[in-house]
Structure 1
Amino acid sequence: MHRFRYRGDALFVEEVEAARLAERYGTPLYVYSAGTIVDHYDRLVSSLRELHPLVCYAVKANSNLSVLRLLASRGCGFDLVSGGELYRVLRAGGDPALCTFAGVAKTSQEITEALEAGIYSFIVESREELAAIERVAARLGKRAPVALRVNPDVGAQTHAKVKTGIAESKFGIAAEEIEELYRQLALFPNLFLRGIQIHIGSQIRDVEPFEEAVRRVIPLVEIARDRFGAEFFDIGGGLGIAYEEALQSGDPGWWESKAQWATPARYAQRLRPLLEPLKLRIVVEPGRLLVGNAGILLTRVLYRKDRPQKKFVIVDAGMNDLIRPALYGSFHQIVPVARRAGESIEGDVVGPVCESGDCFASSRRLPWVEPGDLLAIFSAGAYGFSMASQYNSRPRPAEVLVEGTDHRLIRRRESYEDLVRGEQIGEDDRATDPERGAEG
């Protein structure tokens, strides 16, 4: 559920009109609901409370410092995949002792930074990585906590680019190799096995793949617990959200009609009987689940372009602002910020980027819109701004956080100066300063 609602014909974010936010901060504009993020986190923790879970939010989904601080204030841990994400979490006041560090290509510098910060555990993806962590830990005179990521070879009904638990993916260690690694752990005196981890993919809408993966890996978890004193089982993340009817999913009744969906409650109900007997700390790594439907992208209609073959609604947001539709062919619900009378139209919602793929919706039935109208692109809280770029030399948009009747800027809109910051053409970088000119 979320806190985006129409009141009359006006879209509200919590207690604030979306149109007011667009007028105050401009467009394109990312808008997040703090109440939705907190509610999603609390619901997940409550559903798993018998397991005393450690929730490690996947920072890659949305790494804004204010979002991280909001979750840290609830006692949330963090799932990291880079040294930059660790830096962000520390800046936001997150506890490194509640952080896991995953990823297949950790550098020596990142391993050093994580060890010095005192993270909870590395999530190790290969024997070669064990050796790399061993070398850094030995140099620092530390014992590094590690968890082996098992690839359970479980497929899930999701996009091919976000399947991570199948044998053909780059992630994890094949189950048949884990026992050999157990025998080799004695060769790494500066490491200790703290846990076992799995993660089978993202945007998964049914419980069965999670249950199958947990069942397959439990025997290996029991060996890690009994032989090495491992203390946690990290079951990853991946629970999906509503994209097709994102606005409607704010209504509790909508979820009741989706009996097959893997909600946190149904997920917990199926997995608790498997996990409770292990007597281990259970770690979960939600990302999209917490923030996906807590964010929208506001964009203004610039033009209507009506051709005999097709109609186009041209907006000021582009694929550089929200790349998911271009990258994955993903669906995002698009609604007017102010509903108006008029016939609906069928057309493409497209942006200004010079790519035919710069399209948010294709042959979509939309309410009547005119130039100057505002649209809200839903389900933009996860993998929206975090994947944004400056492609076509377009400054990245601003971000705003709404809490009840309050709203505040949590990232300013980039300027043209931001586009060239850090670049140089000459020794004194004169040509990047329009005030000085090429000749100074």
Structure 2
Amino acid sequence: MDHFLYRDGALYAEDVPIADIAAAVGTPFYVYSTATLKRHFTLFDEALAWGDHLVCFAMKSLSNQAVLKILADQGAGMDVVSIGEYLRAKAAGVPGDRIVFSGVGKTADEMRQALQGGIRQFNVESEPEMIMLDQVAQSLGKVAPITVRVNPDVDAKTHAKIATGKSENKFGIPISRAREVYAMAAKLPGLKVIGIDVHIGSQLTELAPFEAAYAKVAELTEQLRADGHEITRLDLGGGLGIPYTRSNDAPPLPTDYGKMVQRAVGHLGCEIEIEPGRLIAGNAGLLVSKVIYVKSGEDREFLIIDGAMNDLIRPAMYEAWHDIVPVVEPAPGDVPAKYDIVGPICESGDTFAKAREMPAVAADDLIAFRSAGAYGAVMASEYNSRPLIPEVLVNGDQFAVIRARPTYEEMIARDTLPAWLSTPDNSESPAD
């Protein structure tokens, strides 16, 4: 469920007409619903209420500080994968003891800053990383709490570019070597082993792959405890998918996921961490764009809009589907049209949908991409020198810009010319 509904023939974000936001900030823009963010976090929190747990929002899905503040105020932790995300979380008021540091390429400087600023745990992904973290922690006179991310070689049955738990993926250590790696960690004085970490992929639409991975984690927990390790925390990752279409083929609910987690690992007495991102943020956001032209091609109609692949790259990168709807509700009986929906960027890949059937629209009409809250704004770029687009937050009948669109002057001013190109006479020929 989300809070983007038609009312009196117009699409609203909570109690704010989308058209009013477009008139105030221009298009394209992202808009997020506070009520949806809170509701989706609460679903996960309640699904794990049977035991000690922490729901850590995966910041890579959406990292605007206003969104982080909403979730932190609800009790969320944060899962970060860079020192930039860590500092964003701290700036939003998230305490260090609710921040988990994941990622395969943590640098010594990132480790140092996180240890100095406070951290709940590092999810370590390799022996070299473990050795480096030990050295950094000892140099600071600290002990770093760690889990080791294990790769269970489970097929997540998702897109190849967002699968992370198979043997060919770069993430974690093979679960077959886990006992050896944990024995190594136990001998490093700058580290304290506290648990196990696993994450098998994103946009999973069934529970079976999770359950298969968690069964392996449960078995490993018993083995490591028998080896003398104190395993008190299980970080089970994220990855539960969202319905990108309005079909009946919906992914499992957080309540079903929570019951499965209890069934798989609840008997171990561990604190449970999960790291959802997409399911909290995805359906909490829209990308709103304006139609520039409706162009007739040889055998198709093109809907050319002012949003582009630099604003929402998921369709170009993952062949991802987003429901695309008009901001003005179509009248009953309106005949739908079929379009290739494309942006203005000089790439054939700047295509959001092909032969998409939707209500007919015309130039200057507004359209909305549903389920655009996750992996939208965070993956945007300034390709073709297009400024990053605004992010807007709605709360009831209020809205505010939470990231402004930079001017062209601001964007261009970030470039600097070296001295030899800056001199007034650089275009003149040298004297004979």
TM-score w.r.t. the length of structure 2 is 0.95
SS of the aligned residue for 1:239 comes to coil
Q: Residues of 2 paired with 1:389 and 1:320: CA distance? A: 5
Please, which of 271, 283, 286 is the counterpart of residue 293 of structure 1? 283
Code of the aligned partner of 1:261: P
Alpha-carbon spacing, 1:58–1:421, altered in 2? closer, same or farther (3 Å): farther
Alignment of 1:211 with 2:211, yes or no, is yes
Q: Residues of 2 paired with 1:390 and 1:438: CA distance? A: 29
Partners of 1:98 and 1:120 within 8 A in 2: yes
- Quote how far apart the aligned CAs of 1:428 are: 9.9
Tell me the residue number matched to 1:84.
84
Tell me the residue number matched to 2:357.
365
- Quote how far apart the aligned CAs of 1:187 are: 3.1
Partners of 1:155 and 1:209 within 8 A in 2: yes
Please, which of 392, 397, 421 is the counterpart of residue 400 of structure 1? 392
Tell me the residue number matched to 1:270.
260
- Quote how far apart the aligned CAs of 1:438 are: 9.6
Tell me the residue number matched to 1:109.
109
Partners of 2:31 and 2:393 within 8 A in 1: yes
Tell me the residue number matched to 1:94.
94
- Quote how far apart the aligned CAs of 1:228 are: 2.1
Tell me the residue number matched to 2:325.
335
Tell me the residue number matched to 1:234.
235
Tell me the residue number matched to 2:404.
412
Tell me the residue number matched to 1:426.
418
- Quote how far apart the aligned CAs of 1:429 are: 8.7
- Quote how far apart the aligned CAs of 1:421 are: 3.7
- Quote how far apart the aligned CAs of 1:262 are: 1.6
**Gap runs ≥5 in structure 2:** 428-432
Q: Residues of 2 paired with 1:25 and 1:437: CA distance? A: 41
Q: Residues of 1 paired with 2:144 and 2:196: CA distance? A: 15
Alignment of 1:10 with 2:10, yes or no, is yes
SS of the aligned residue for 1:51 comes to coil
Code of the aligned partner of 1:292: G
**Gap runs ≥5 in structure 1:** 249-256
- Quote how far apart the aligned CAs of 1:263 are: 1.0
SS of the aligned residue for 1:122 comes to strand
- Quote how far apart the aligned CAs of 1:275 are: 2.0
- Quote how far apart the aligned CAs of 1:44 are: 0.9
Query: Percent of counterpart pairs with the same letter?
Result: 44
Q: Residues of 1 paired with 2:425 and 2:99: CA distance? A: 48
SS of the aligned residue for 2:242 comes to coil
Tell me the residue number matched to 1:70.
70
Tell me the residue number matched to 2:188.
188
Alignment of 1:282 with 2:283, yes or no, is no
SS of the aligned residue for 2:354 comes to strand
SS of the aligned residue for 1:50 comes to coil
Q: Residues of 2 paired with 1:360 and 1:334: CA distance? A: 9
What do the CA deviations read for 1:78-100 (whole angstroms, capped 9, x no partner)? 00100000010011001110111
What do the CA deviations read for 1:135-168 (whole angstroms, capped 9, x no partner)? 1111111111110001000002210000000000
Please, which of 327, 343, 350 is the counterpart of residue 351 of structure 1? 343
SS of the aligned residue for 2:50 comes to helix
**5 Å matches for 1:291-330?**
291-330=281-320
SS of the aligned residue for 2:89 comes to helix
TM-score w.r.t. the length of structure 1 is 0.93
How many correspondences in the alignment?
424
- Quote how far apart the aligned CAs of 1:229 are: 1.7
Partners of 1:197 and 1:233 within 8 A in 2: yes
Tell me the residue number matched to 1:375.
367
Tell me the residue number matched to 2:430.
none
Partners of 2:205 and 2:242 within 8 A in 1: yes
Alpha-carbon spacing, 1:9–1:112, altered in 2? closer, same or farther (3 Å): same
Q: Residues of 2 paired with 1:429 and 1:63: CA distance? A: 37
Alpha-carbon spacing, 1:205–1:119, altered in 2? closer, same or farther (3 Å): same
Code of the aligned partner of 1:407: F
Q: Which moved more, 1:332-341 or 1:69-78?
A: 332-341
Q: Residues of 2 paired with 1:303 and 1:274: CA distance? A: 53
Q: Residues of 2 paired with 1:54 and 1:224: CA distance? A: 23
- Quote how far apart the aligned CAs of 1:339 are: 2.5
Tell me the residue number matched to 1:252.
none
SS of the aligned residue for 1:309 comes to coil
SS of the aligned residue for 1:39 comes to helix
- Quote how far apart the aligned CAs of 1:417 are: 2.3
Partners of 2:33 and 2:284 within 8 A in 1: yes
Tell me the residue number matched to 1:384.
376
SS of the aligned residue for 1:228 comes to coil
Code of the aligned partner of 2:205: R
Alpha-carbon spacing, 1:437–1:381, altered in 2? closer, same or farther (3 Å): farther
Runs of 4+ in 1 over 6 A off after TM superposition: 428-431, 436-439
